[in-house]
Chain A
Amino acid sequence: MVQIKRLQEDGADILAVVGEIDASSSIELDLAIAKSVGEGFKKILVDCSALEYISSAGLGVFMSYIEEFRDKGINMVMFGMKEKVINTFQILGLADLLHIRESKQDAKKLLHELSA
């Protein structure tokens, strides 16, 4: 139901999330982020351009890493969300707590600024 592809670019780990994240599949997202953190990446980009749906289980995964990222100096920026997907983040005001940009270029720029 969800596939997460990883690739590295300019020192950042890019997680491309494809499909739908719900209560049955949010564990996949959790494992992918945990792996990235475990491998020591300080810069993480989440490509959401092929993310079709996210429920609170997926939102909760992103929320659960906020403090750990702060403690470990890890920066994560998400990009490419469809309107219906970003709306889910906005309903709860999470768009203000997480770094979200429209394009990959803007996301990389922000990641660079945050990591400076």
Chain B
Amino acid sequence: MSYRHKIGCSLENLKGIRDFIRKSLRTHVSSEVVMNEIILALDEMCSNLMIHAHHCNPDHFLELSIDVPTKGSLIFEITDDGEMFDINKFHEPEIGNLVHEKRKGGLGIRLVKSIMDGVEYLNRDGRFVCRLTKQVS
């Protein structure tokens, strides 16, 4: 099964993204903890793009799709017309440094990498796609 959601790049829309994911996966993911992890990772990815790639411009859009195959991992794709920020190339800061520098950012990418089994980037029809995969039992 596939689900699709188009999102304006405003942080106010993050709640709508979370509701979309929860609604789409409610019959596919039974663990509340795993559901929250998936929601968290996608919220982090989308908010990162909204802030850093689109400067929270609500006239810019992202597309989130969820593919639930009969076998194998859940597949999440975020499609963006802008330039995709590759988190695999981002060296996340040490937790101790964040505390010392009183930084409020830098934890999101670490969360995504911890939660998702795979994060890869591809170009489809001239648009950037970030594909995240998660195996659920």
Residues of A within 8 A of B (CB): 1, 20, 22-24, 26, 30, 53, 55-57, 59-61, 63-64, 66-68, 83-85, 87-88, 91-94, 97
Contact = CB atoms under 8 A, between A and B. Distances in A.
A53 B37 contact: no
Given A22-B47, A91-B114, A1 B15 contact: yes
A94 B95 contact: yes
B115 A63 contact: no
A64 B95 contact: no
Interface in B70-109: 95, 98-100, 102-108
Could you tell me the dominant secondary structure of chain B's interface residues?
helix
B40 interface: yes
A68 B100 CA distance: 10
Given A60-B106, A88-B40, A91-B37, 12 more contacts: A20-B18, A24-B12, A53-B18, A55-B108, A63-B103, A63-B104, A64-B103, A83-B32, A88-B37, A91-B111, A92-B114, A94-B95
